Amino acid sequence: DVVDKGPYRHYMLKEIFEQPESTARTIGAYVNAVDQTAQLPNEQELDFTSFDRVYIIACGTAYYAGCVAKYWFEKYAKLPVETDIASEFRYREPALSKNALAIFVTQSGETADTLAALRYCQENGLTTAAVVNVPTSTIARESDAILPTLAGAEVGVASTKAFTAQLCSLASLAVIAGRARGVLTEKDETHLTEQLMQIPGRITEALKVENAAKELAVDLSKARDVLYLGRGTMFPIAMEGALKLKEISYIHAEGYAAGELKHGPIALIDENTPVVMIAPTDPLLEKTISNMQEVAARHGKVLLITDENGAKVGADTPAWTLIAPSCDPFIAPILYSVPIQLLAYYVAVEKGTDVDQPRNLAKSVTVE
Ligand code: G6P
Query: What's the pLDDT tens digit per position in 146-183?
Result: 999 999 999 999 999 999 999 999 999 999 999 999 99
On the CB side of 211, CA atoms within 13 Å amount to 2
Q: How far, in Å, from the CA of 203 to the mean position of ligand 1?
A: 23
**The residue count for the chain:** 368
Asked if 142 and 122 touch (Cβ cutoff 8 Å), the reply is yes
Q: Which residues pair with 320 in a beta bridge?
A: 303
Asked if 338 and 16 touch (Cβ cutoff 8 Å), the reply is yes
> Whose alpha carbon is nearest atom 11 of ligand 1?
364
CA distance 282 to 161: 25
Determine the Cα angle at 35 with ends 29 and 38, to 5°: 40
> What residues does ligand 1 touch, defined as CB less than 6 Å away?
59-62, 106-108, 111, 114, 157-159, 361, 363-365
Asked if 168 and 196 touch (Cβ cutoff 8 Å), the reply is yes
Report the pLDDT value the prediction gives residue 90, as an integer from 0 to 100. Answer: 86
Report the pLDDT value the prediction gives residue 1, as an integer from 0 to 100. Answer: 53
CA distance 269 to 288: 16
Q: Which residues of 47-81 are buried (b: 16+ CB within 10 A; e: fewer)?
A: ebeebeebbbbbbbbbbbbbbbbbbbbebbbebeb
The percentage of the chain sitting over the pLDDT mark of 90, rounded to a whole number, equals 90
Q: How far, in Å, from the CA of 59 to the mean position of ligand 1?
A: 6
CA distance 274 to 217: 11
Nearest to 245 by CA among 227, 257, 262: 227
Atom of ligand 1 nearest to the CA of 162: 16
Asked if 322 and 303 touch (Cβ cutoff 8 Å), the reply is yes
Pocket test for ligand 1, best of 365, 366, 367, 368 (most atoms within 8 A of CB): 365
CA distance 94 to 168: 28
pTM of the predicted protein model: 0.97
Amino acid occupying residue 99: N
The secondary structure of the chain, three-state, reads: CCCCCCCCCCHHHHHHHCHHHHHHHHHHHHEECCCCEECCHHHCCCCCCCCCEEEEEECHHHHHHHHHHHHHHHHHHCCCEEEEEHHHHCCCCCCCCCCEEEEEEECCCCCHHHHHHHHHHHHCCCEEEEEECCCCCHHHHHCCEEEECCCCCCCCCCCCHHHHHHHHHHHHHHHHHHHHCCCCCHHHHHHHHHHHHHHHHHHHHHHHHHHHHHHHHHHHCCCCEEEEEECCCHHHHHHHHHHHHHHHHCCEEEEEEHHHHHHCHHHHCCCCCCEEEECCCCCCHHHHHHHHHHHHHCCCCEEEEECHHHHHHCCCCCCEEEECCCCCCCCHHHHCHHHHHHHHHHHHHHHCCCCCCCCCCCCCCCCC
Q: How far, in Å, from the CA of 248 to the mean position of ligand 1?
A: 14
Report the pLDDT value the prediction gives residue 339, as an integer from 0 to 100. Answer: 98
What is the number of other CB atoms lying within 10 angstroms of the CB of residue 152? 17
Residues of the chain predicted below pLDDT 70: 1
Task: Examine the residue annotation and report whether 351 is marked as an active-site residue of this protein.
Answer: no
Q: How far, in Å, from the CA of 110 to the mean position of ligand 1?
A: 9
Considering the candidates 75, 287, 351, 363, report the single residue annotated as catalytic: 363
Report the pLDDT value the prediction gives residue 195, as an integer from 0 to 100. Answer: 98
β-strand pairing of 31-32 with 37-38? antiparallel
How do residues 279-327 score in pLDDT, each as one tens digit?
999 999 999 899 899 999 999 999 999 999 999 998 888 889 999 999 9
ipTM over 0.95: yes
Report the pLDDT value the prediction gives residue 317, as an integer from 0 to 100. Answer: 85
How do residues 243-260 score in pLDDT, each as one tens digit?
999 999 999 999 999 999
Q: What is the largest CA-CA distance in the chain?
A: 56
